[in-house]
Structures are given as C-alpha cells and as structure tokens.
Amino acid sequence: MHVRTLTGGLAASLLLSLPLLSGQAVAAEPSGGTTLPLSAARVLTYDASGSAEFASAVARGAAIWNESVDGVELRPATSGQRANIRILADNGWPRALPTSLGNGTVYIGRQAVNQGYNTVRISSHELGHILGLPDRKPGPCSSLMSGSSAGVPCTNPYPNTAERAEVEDNFSAASRAPVPAPRAAAVGG
C-alpha cells in the first residue's frame, strides 16, 4: 500500500513540475491535498469478533496480505458494518468457506493449533482461500498454500511470488466492481 501512495505522490510532483521544466509559467489548480488516483485496491472487511484467542493472529494474517498485494486490502469491519469475511475460532481443523471472491467464513481451528501449527500461518493461509487461492498440497514451506503439508516446523505466513501474482490477477479485473453478496460454498483448508 505504501508503494501506491509513494508513486502517486511522485507522479503528482512530476506532473506539476512539467510546466516549469518546459519554460511555461502556469498556475496550478489547488488540489486540496490529494494525489493522483492510481488503481485502487478493493477493500474487503473482516469481522474477527468471534476469533477468540486468535484475534492477534488474524490481524497479523490480514496485515501480511496487505503488505504483499496491492489489488486488495483487508480491513477490520467497523461497528454495525456487514463484513465480507467472518472469522471464527472452533475446535475443528482450520478451514475456509468462500462464498465468492473476497467473501466467506474462515475457521481458525484449535485442532491444528493443538498439534503445533503456527496460528499466523493458519490465518494467512485461510485468508488466501477467501482471496481465491486453492490448496497446493503437498508443497514446500515457501508456499503458503501448501498448508499443513509443509509440516508443523513451517511457520512461514507469507505468500510466495506466484501466490501474490494470482491474488493480484484475481482482483485486477474486479478492482472497480462492487463486491458481490455472499453465497454458500465450501473449501477446506
């Protein structure tokens, strides 16, 4: 997200300085402190109020996706706001139930946590399903979507280059379209 703001500011500065470089004196229009808009990220909200002891892992998983991609941004839902993603803790295995791209329910299951799997990796992985990524099992620890097949010692919560590119592709065409209402469907994590 920081790159988009930085490049937007740089582009605005260059555009404003072009008349000066060409030798023409032109009065600039007041901008009201805004920068030129670049491709806007689709904002998805999540409700982690039911994530119990995993709330910080969920926040970190969302932050990792926000650091990793530009086409989508995950934000906590505000009070009374209907969230795109509902995140719950339960005693089962972690899983995601996407209803459409960017919508669904994530379960941070205690069964995997009790077996020693990393909670932030679980959170990032399950959010990856909501962002349109499938499981890629078996797989190496460098692949976030390899999930549990990378083993308990794997704590990598970051998507690899291919996973980041796939999420960017998923949201590039839909970046200006409204987020559809949730529908029922299931994908295991």
Catalytic residues: 126
Quote the radius of gyration of the chain (alpha carbons, Å). Answer: 20
CA 70 from centroid of its chain's CA atoms: 9
- Residue 92 carries which side chain, given as an amino acid letter? G
Residue 45: strand pairing partners = 75
What is each CA distance from 167 to 161, 170, 179, in whole angstroms? 10, 5, 15
Distance CA(103)–CA(100), nearest Å, equals 5
Residues whose CB is less than 8 angstroms from the CB of residue 128 and which lie 6 or more positions away in sequence, other chains included: 65, 144, 145, 159, 163, 167
